[in-house]
Structure 1
Amino acid sequence: MTLRILDTTLRDGEQTPGVSLSVEQKLMIAEALDRLGVDVIEAGTAIASEGEFQAIKTISEAGLNAEICSFARIKFEDIDAAADANADSIFMVAPSSDIHISSKFPGKSREDIIEMSVRAIEYAKERGLVVEFGGEDASRADFSFIIELYRHAVDAGADRLTFTDTVGVFTPEKAFETMKSLKENFSVPVAFHGHDDFGLATSNTVFAVKGGADEIHVAMNGLGERAGNAALEEVVMALEFLYGIKTRINKEMLYPTSKLVEKLTRVKVPPNKPIVGDNAFTHESGIHTSALLRNTQTYEPISPEVIGRKRSIILGKHAGRASVEVIMKEMGYKATPEQMKEILARIKEIGDKGKRVTDADIRTIVETVLQIRREKKVQLLDLSIVSGVHVMPTASVKLKINGKEVVEAGVGLGPVDAAINAIKKAIKDYADIELVSYHVDAITGGTDALVDVIVQLKKGDKIVTARGARTDIIMASVEAFIEGLNMLID
């Protein structure tokens, strides 16, 4: 039996503080998760709001391969909402720890919870729903009560059972033993739902599978309440590559799906996050990079292409000759030993000042040392901005692109956004450029501070970084954007 994956990005993941998705955005993520190959998509909580109801209904009617699930309490109105939204199944939870029982149902006993759960499960089956039943906060509950609660749930018609580590207090050893015990007691499929409050969600989930779990609950990028849920990408890759346990996940879609979720939820993935973080396949150290270029397995446990991404070599104060030569080869340049020594020294000088070395910096250094004069394909001739309390920020720009003058205007949420939008419109006939990231730092203090703007631009598969430094943040941003364009436009 292949391990089943229930993805809760659209339910528990959307409960991440500050995350709120529209119906259209939820559908986009659901379609991506379906292409990824998850077995169950927990699309939200149908009873929560009209928007949630419509999102689940839209996803349920989208013709996806995955089972579409709605979260539900042991309440008939939750069940009706899920069924009316055409969900295939519900993940129904009942409080199982004494803390949760007394807080959520004051005056109710454990026996009352069992009775309410049985009635709710029987009603859900009458409404034609697949029922996955879980005891909320099970990891802090009396295990003998969990067994009793689950037995009544199965007798009432529950199709699957879930053990929930709601506040992330389990350890891998406990996860293993608990799943093993549940498998010995029940013939229906058993799942594990883990949170990352102590940073153990991935380990706990892996050990739950080792203990016999038939299904796991995970979220893309580890999104979820508080510290998040077990990260889908981490759990799947650990299971498949370290333990030889297969899933139906299309691993080449992991990185594209991660980036889509990052973009739509606006929750930035930490650069050092395993598998999908920006630094996961990025190398700078000269000694490491030199060995990596001879054999990628020296400093990479898996190939980046496996998860749909590419290796990146960046330069800084740890840069070595090998990595510089690779980047110069991509530029079409070759240096003598003395020139290479000078190029390395200049790159390291920027790094020693605590600055990030951008692609534009490298090109400038290389071309300066090699005494190569390269005509810029894009030049800024004029820029004007109109902005005010009652005025939509508007920018007009005049560029020279491959010798031809182009004038365009754009609006935005602010003057920087308006200026960038105007430039993007001006160059649309020459290249389809995407602004991947925008970062600004104030280098000095005061209202006349020197600001350092770094942008990442993308054209096709190529991504470059460029810098602009001015006391005027608008001009610094435009300068950085145009530097990046000059590296991307042929």
Structure 2
Amino acid sequence: MVFFAPGNARKSIALFDTTLRDGEQTPGVSFTTDQKVEIAEQLAGIGVKILEAGFPASSAEEREAVRAVVAAKTGATICGLARMRRDDVDACLECGVDMVHVFIPTSEVQREHTVRMSMDEVLAATAEVVGYAREHVGQVLFSPMDATRTDWDDLVKVCQTAVAAGATAVNIPDTVGVMTPSATKELIAKVVKEVKAPVDVHCHNDFGLAVANTLAAVEAGASQVQVTVNGMGERAGNADLAQTVMALEAVYGIGTGVETARLVETSRLVSRHAGLAVPPLQPVVGENAFAHESGIHAHGVLEHPETFEPGVMTPEMVGHRRRIKFGKHAGRHAVAQMLADVHLTPTEAQLDQVLEKVKAFSGRGRRVTDADLYAIAEEVVGMGAVTPSVQLSDISVLTGNHTLPTASIRMVVDGAEKVACSTGNGPIDAAMRAILGCLPEPVHLKEFSIEAITGGTDAIGHVTIAVEDRAGHIFDASASSDDIVTASVDAMINAVNLVRRAEKEE
């Protein structure tokens, strides 16, 4: 089912990913060369055709990184950014890029306060440098920076000048994110009519409209769109890759060539390298994108997913999993289903007690984890606690200013003693790695959060952990202690026991 088909009936859209350039301009983010190469390989691997690898003229380190991305031979077209200067273009050419992206400020405020150039000078520089770039490389993308605040006649002149000089495509950037979808659609339609070259758009998210404006540009006839993974970029960022792709594919029925089942995987890779957590409420890739707590919603999706999910976008389509969460809005059907999955079958009266306790627990401001639900149910049913298959015997953590954090752990796994030692980025990371080293089957740590539930330097820390098993099922558990390493270890072991318990019940 396609909900909207643009009037131009376009069948496909080219994606231009600028995570490695504009995305890296996110305050506090700096990718290493190896990280840039890994991200480039990931993006090309999922089907993104054009990658802006960086701004070579900015530093020797940036040139090295762009060269490395080019040398990786990902199969994607590799682009380098350049100001409207020959030496900037030369820096791109020295890196061996397939495309040079040249830009120049064109709005009055930008010309007066950033480059101090008249419009005639902008036109002359554009003709010269675009022409120079086109003599040396097969593809040249031209951007009139701050296009959406540029006088219309000036915008047409500079775009036409660039195309006449050899630009193979024209990008219309909403540099400060001031456009609305209706205004974007009107502007791009006019540009497409006046400029005889493929039209690209680059939308910023200052008012949360970057994806909407990008889609409006597609409706108006744009043939290429610029995106970043997780919507990274200057200030509030750019149009998000996953959201743009899924809107085009699922809502508009327009192909992007992207392997959508790897969108979550790609988001997490970039999140890890950028050091920026993906918000749980992030559309498509966030942890809550396909999570349900409300009794009506949970009951509905368990009966038929399209009741409270888009239908045209399922969790499996983007590499996600559906999750039922428990709290004060939980319903009987979801709780009963979750307990049935591990062969806990309370009576109707007992189920009412379980539900009452879950709501009371959540009403105190606490997150109800899978482990909490099972413990509550076991108490109500009167079956006693299940003996865990993984038990902690001892843990020792060594850390300091000049000592690499190291954790040594001794555990009993299915009756056999296991010992492991691991280093990490900190004492908790080292402890988590040591635990995983004792397990015979892989378990992936998906989520880790800690909060203080009392005040003072001896505060009690409450740790919540979510782990994923080989089949993609997610289990969460928590623990509290005045030692955050101990709380983290206990929470991790509780979560691992949930995984192993579920596997035994299958």
- Same fold, judged at TM 0.5 (above): yes
* Alignment partner, residue 92 of structure 2: 82
* Alignment partner, residue 70 of structure 1: 80
Quote the Cα distance in structure 2 between the aligned partners of 1:469 and 1:453: 6
Q: Which runs of 5 or more structure 1 residues have no equivalent in the other structure? A: none
2:489 counterpart letter in structure 1: V
Matched, 1:8 2:18: yes
Kindly state the Cα deviation for residue 30 of structure 1 after the two structures are TM-superposed: 1.2
Quote the Cα distance in structure 2 between the aligned partners of 1:458 and 1:50: 41
SS at match of 2:367: coil
Aligned residues of 1:385 and 1:393 also touching (Cα < 8 A): yes
Kindly state the Cα deviation for residue 372 of structure 1 after the two structures are TM-superposed: 4.4
* Alignment partner, residue 349 of structure 1: 360
Quote the Cα distance in structure 2 between the aligned partners of 1:84 and 1:234: 35
Structure 1's consecutive aligned runs of 4 or more residues displaced over 6 angstroms after TM superposition are: none
Quote the Cα distance in structure 1 between the aligned partners of 2:153 and 2:352: 70
Quote the Cα distance in structure 1 between the aligned partners of 2:203 and 2:386: 55
Matched, 1:198 2:211: no
Matched, 1:134 2:134: no
* Alignment partner, residue 58 of structure 1: 68
Quote the Cα distance in structure 2 between the aligned partners of 1:443 and 1:314: 22
Matched, 1:381 2:393: yes
Quote the Cα distance in structure 1 between the aligned partners of 2:55 and 2:402: 40
Matched, 1:439 2:449: yes
Matched, 1:396 2:405: no
After superposition, give the CA deviation of every residue in 1:421-458 in whole Å (9 maximum; x if it has no partner). 3323233xx12222222211110111121110111222
**Aligned pair partner of 2:256 in 247, 254, 258:** 247
1:71 counterpart letter in structure 2: L
Q: Residue 304 and residue 393 in structure 1: after superposition, are their counterparts in 2 closer, same or farther (change >3 A)?
A: closer
Task: Identify which range, 403-412 or 229-238, moves more after superposition.
Answer: 403-412
Matched, 1:39 2:46: no
Kindly state the Cα deviation for residue 237 of structure 1 after the two structures are TM-superposed: 2.0
Q: Residue 388 and residue 304 in structure 1: after superposition, are their counterparts in 2 closer, same or farther (change >3 A)?
A: closer
Quote the Cα distance in structure 2 between the aligned partners of 1:124 and 1:390: 51
Kindly state the Cα deviation for residue 373 of structure 1 after the two structures are TM-superposed: 4.1
SS at match of 2:179: coil
1:151 counterpart letter in structure 2: Q
* Alignment partner, residue 286 of structure 1: 295
Identical counterparts, % of pairs: 39
Aligned residues of 2:375 and 2:385 also touching (Cα < 8 A): no
After superposition, give the CA deviation of every residue in 1:40-82 in whole Å (9 maximum; x if it has no partner). 1111112222332222222223232321111111111211121
1:189 counterpart letter in structure 2: P
Quote the Cα distance in structure 1 between the aligned partners of 2:112 and 2:158: 16
Q: Residue 245 and residue 409 in structure 1: after superposition, are their counterparts in 2 closer, same or farther (change >3 A)?
A: closer
* Alignment partner, residue 5 of structure 2: none
Q: Residue 118 and residue 274 in structure 1: after superposition, are their counterparts in 2 closer, same or farther (change >3 A)?
A: same
* Alignment partner, residue 468 of structure 1: 479
After superposition, give the CA deviation of every residue in 1:301-357 in whole Å (9 maximum; x if it has no partner). 132112221211111111111111221122132222122112212211211111111
RMSD: 1.7
Aligned residues of 1:87 and 1:129 also touching (Cα < 8 A): no
Quote the Cα distance in structure 1 between the aligned partners of 2:270 and 2:30: 12
* Alignment partner, residue 109 of structure 1: 118
Quote the Cα distance in structure 2 between the aligned partners of 1:394 and 1:134: 50
* Alignment partner, residue 172 of structure 2: 163
Task: Identify which range, 132-141 or 456-465, moves more after superposition.
Answer: 456-465
SS at match of 2:72: coil
**Aligned pair partner of 1:25 in 8, 31, 35:** 35
**Aligned pair partner of 1:315 in 313, 322, 326:** 326
Kindly state the Cα deviation for residue 253 of structure 1 after the two structures are TM-superposed: 2.1
Quote the Cα distance in structure 2 between the aligned partners of 1:141 and 1:16: 25
**Aligned pair partner of 2:307 in 288, 298, 313:** 298
Aligned residues of 2:100 and 2:137 also touching (Cα < 8 A): no
Q: Residue 384 and residue 345 in structure 1: after superposition, are their counterparts in 2 closer, same or farther (change >3 A)?
A: same
After superposition, give the CA deviation of every residue in 1:158-213 in whole Å (9 maximum; x if it has no partner). 11011111000111122111111111112210111110111111111111111111
SS at match of 2:57: coil
Quote the Cα distance in structure 1 between the aligned partners of 2:343 and 2:64: 54
Matched, 1:453 2:467: no
1:341 counterpart letter in structure 2: D
SS at match of 1:399: strand
Aligned residues: 487
Matched, 1:361 2:358: no
Quote the Cα distance in structure 2 between the aligned partners of 1:303 and 1:386: 45
SS at match of 2:131: helix
Matched, 1:153 2:162: yes
Quote the Cα distance in structure 2 between the aligned partners of 1:394 and 1:254: 34
* Alignment partner, residue 7 of structure 2: none
TM-score (norm 1): 0.95
Aligned residues of 2:321 and 2:473 also touching (Cα < 8 A): no
Kindly state the Cα deviation for residue 408 of structure 1 after the two structures are TM-superposed: 2.7
Quote the Cα distance in structure 2 between the aligned partners of 1:247 and 1:412: 39
* Alignment partner, residue 94 of structure 1: 104
Aligned residues of 1:202 and 1:230 also touching (Cα < 8 A): yes
Quote the Cα distance in structure 1 between the aligned partners of 2:259 and 2:269: 16
**Aligned pair partner of 1:182 in 172, 186, 191:** 191
Matched, 1:482 2:493: yes
1:112 counterpart letter in structure 2: E
1:378 counterpart letter in structure 2: V
After superposition, give the CA deviation of every residue in 1:256-283 in whole Å (9 maximum; x if it has no partner). 2122222221211211121111111000
* Alignment partner, residue 230 of structure 2: 221
Q: Residue 389 and residue 270 in structure 1: after superposition, are their counterparts in 2 closer, same or farther (change >3 A)?
A: closer
1:24 counterpart letter in structure 2: D
* Alignment partner, residue 4 of structure 2: none
2:106 counterpart letter in structure 1: S
**Aligned pair partner of 1:260 in 251, 262, 269:** 269
SS at match of 2:334: helix
Quote the Cα distance in structure 2 between the aligned partners of 1:298 and 1:415: 44
SS at match of 1:486: helix
Quote the Cα distance in structure 2 between the aligned partners of 1:486 and 1:7: 41
SS at match of 2:493: helix
1:487 counterpart letter in structure 2: L
1:402 counterpart letter in structure 2: D
TM-score (norm 2): 0.92
